[in-house]
Structure 1
Amino acid sequence: MQIRAATLNAWALPAPLGELVPERMRAIGNELGRLELDLVALQEVWTAAARRTLVRAGDAAGLVHAWTDDAGLGGSGIVILSRHPFAAARVERFSLPRVPPRPDHPDYYVGKGFVELLLDLPSCAVRVIATHLHARYQGDVAHAYRAYRTGQIIELATALRSATEPVILLGDLNLQDTDAEYRVLRGLTCLRDAAVEIGRREPTVDGTNPFRNSGREPKRIDYVLVRDGPTAGIHVSGLHRIFDAVFDAGGRTASFSDHAGLVADISLHDSPRPSAKIDSRAIGLAASLLAEGRARTEMNRSTARVAAGAGWAGALVATRGARSPRFSRRSLLRTSIQFGGLAALTPGVACTLIAEVFSPDELLAFDQLLDRLYGLLR
């Protein structure tokens, strides 16, 4: 049994976050039929119009079975189109992050997670996972949110722990094969990297894309990963970049997305490899990365408490100076202080929420993920 499976981060965000979205979605849709796919997982499909365009195009290309997340920006942004029927589809939201980060790092405000389903093939069932892990923002923060991705990988590993079918995982993982999280992913899930297996480690984000800076360092952050089941194996015979051509879109140079996609030619067979065991080194590394993230949340909580105290103190100054019927230079100064104190009130409330509501919630999530990590050994 042969399967042709693809993945693409479609970058279908509302304007101005996404550029030329209608034109690009139509181009992706036109390409689906030419690629003769059996399965495609799309990420960042965060507008209803983009979902409709892609589902209609998939139907015309023979990908008549669709799963979509209609929660908009609050959803996973994942769309799955399949030639074969599937069952038991579910979406699981990631536990992290729980604290709102910088406004220009918007992962907190969307509902990233993973979609899991059973693809019903004539020869056997295949468990398919489509996901999109936390973005790196590496140019802005040295830690590149690796602790969050580690927690998300633990949730993926937990979901796959009881899988008795061959597994195909597709998605934008926002990590490179030189990163610690990559070792955690491979070690906890026992998934095989299709690109490494056949020697086709090509970047999926680079400066040749017209939506990227020409000097951008090439990175491979989109993946096809596979794992044999107890009675059926998976063999990857080919892996290629797709959706990377450049075209004209109303006078602008464009491509299908700001990522390239991948397509894998996969065959199922009845000679599976012996079941791999979880790598204990991956357990230790994951625990270390979770501890790093937990410590950062504690530090940020302490900082927020200090800022909250300053905000509330400013608000108190404003309140104490609120009753002054006479106008004078002194009253003018007092009024200025009032406005300054009231301006400090809103940051004080925000910092209080971060310190006393969001941060404790995130610390609890880190602790629960650590428990789930060690639970993989039981």
Structure 2
Amino acid sequence: MKRLLKRLILTLLTSALLIAAAMAWNVYHTAIPEPTTFAKVTPPPAFTPLRLRVVTWNLWGIFGFTPRRAERMQVIAREIVKLNPDIVGFQEVFVQADRDLLTTALREAGLPHSRYFSSGLVGSGLLLVSRFPIESDGFIRYADGGRPEAVHHGDWWAGKGLSLSTLRLPDGSPLYIANTHMHARYRGQYHATQLAQGRQLLPWASRVKDTGAPALWLGDWNNKPDSDVLAPLIASGDWRHLTGDKTAIDHIFGSGPAWQWHVLSLGKLTGLLTATPKVPWSDHAARWIEVELRRQP
């Protein structure tokens, strides 16, 4: 009996230490620091309008939890190449093999630059792939990431946040690219968390605006544009809603006081697996836009 009791105590202590270590790692591990440089940009006197095709897509890529994940990623890689994008912001790409598959397919399609933003125990799930060089990047981790005991929701363990990168356009102009995945509401349980995440991003939206550079803000925002979470951000950063659907929660916004984002076309991409018609490619549709970036007259 004493042996069994000792084993039980040892097992409980070991489990408690492992959980504490995992929680400590999750809290302190963010591989990419916050951005620090926000130099003011003088728009070039002559800027040739530039066409860009931009995509945001939550891929539902959670190891062991999402159905037919590897099969779906093969289809997604094929379909995203068909869109012929210039910039893609993915969310929920937690598995390294999936990231390798997507970056390889897009590299062969002419998008050689990519960044994954490692954070927390699981990783932020944010992957950026670009036709243009990525000159710098940073990661703003959400201070309020949800609840650690809500393991079935997973957001706290993912160390989510907003990635903020600087691309270099062909004429030498910088372009800020932000990508995020805000906490889901789960029937209103995390409204306060979303509000806190939105407030945390307010100064970053202002800093980017003050540079005068063009910027694109992509992601699964888990909110409509007119929500109390996103409306203050839109006002603070002078964002324009480019993806059009105001009932959606996945959006692309454009900003930059000296720039115009002229939407030429837009759409969404979704489908079902051929072999398993009940399984969608993802539980989110891809949102894409083709825009022409112009100088303000």
Gaps of at least 5 residues in structure 1 are 203-218, 273-378
C-alpha contact (below 8 Å) 2:142/2:197 kept by paired residues: no
Quote the Cα distance in structure 1 between the aligned partners of 2:121 and 2:263: 34
- The answer to whether structure 1 residue 263 and structure 2 residue 296 are counterparts is no
Partner of residue 13, structure 1: 62
Quote the Cα distance in structure 2 between the aligned partners of 1:190 and 1:163: 13
* Matching residue within 248, 252, 256 for 1:220: 248
Q: Structure 1 residues 240, 11: closer, same or farther in 2, change over 3 A?
A: same
Partner of residue 95, structure 1: 143
Quote the Cα distance in structure 2 between the aligned partners of 1:25 and 1:220: 23
Instruction: Give the secondary structure class of the aligned counterpart of 1:246.
Output: coil
User: What is the Cα deviation at residue 158 of structure 1?
Assistant: 5.0
Matched letter for residue 259 of structure 1: H
Question: Sequence identity, in percent?
Answer: 29
C-alpha contact (below 8 Å) 1:167/1:229 kept by paired residues: no
Gaps of at least 5 residues in structure 2 are 1-49
Partner of residue 83, structure 2: 35
Partner of residue 8, structure 2: none
Partner of residue 360, structure 1: none
Instruction: Give the secondary structure class of the aligned counterpart of 1:7.
Output: strand
Partner of residue 231, structure 2: 183
Q: Which has the higher relative contact order, 1 or 2, with Cα contacts under 8 A spaced 6 or more apart?
A: 2
C-alpha contact (below 8 Å) 2:56/2:288 kept by paired residues: yes
Instruction: Give the secondary structure class of the aligned counterpart of 1:225.
Output: strand
Structure having the higher helix fraction is 1
Q: Structure 1 residues 160, 228: closer, same or farther in 2, change over 3 A?
A: closer
* Matching residue within 174, 179, 182 for 1:130: 179
Quote the Cα distance in structure 1 between the aligned partners of 2:198 and 2:163: 18
**Which structure's CA Rg is the greater one?**
1
Q: Structure 1 length normalisation: TM-score?
A: 0.60
Partner of residue 266, structure 2: 239
C-alpha contact (below 8 Å) 1:113/1:133 kept by paired residues: yes
Quote the Cα distance in structure 2 between the aligned partners of 1:105 and 1:67: 25
C-alpha contact (below 8 Å) 1:47/1:73 kept by paired residues: no
Q: Structure 2 length normalisation: TM-score?
A: 0.76
Instruction: Give the secondary structure class of the aligned counterpart of 1:247.
Output: coil
Matched letter for residue 108 of structure 2: A
Partner of residue 17, structure 2: none
Instruction: Give the secondary structure class of the aligned counterpart of 2:278.
Output: strand
CA RMSD in angstroms, aligned pairs only: 2.3
Quote the Cα distance in structure 2 between the aligned partners of 1:142 and 1:7: 23
C-alpha contact (below 8 Å) 1:75/1:111 kept by paired residues: yes
C-alpha contact (below 8 Å) 1:96/1:152 kept by paired residues: no
C-alpha contact (below 8 Å) 2:184/2:190 kept by paired residues: no
Q: Structure 1 residues 155, 104: closer, same or farther in 2, change over 3 A?
A: farther
User: What is the Cα deviation at residue 161 of structure 1?
Assistant: 4.6
Structure having the higher strand fraction is 2
- The worse-fitting range, judged by mean Cα deviation, of 113-122 and 233-242 is 233-242
Instruction: Give the secondary structure class of the aligned counterpart of 1:268.
Output: strand
Quote the Cα distance in structure 2 between the aligned partners of 1:263 and 1:255: 18
User: What is the Cα deviation at residue 179 of structure 1?
Assistant: 2.0
Cα shift readout 1:121-150 (whole Å, capped 9, x = no counterpart)? 1232211111111111126x2846433333
Instruction: Give the secondary structure class of the aligned counterpart of 1:41.
Output: strand
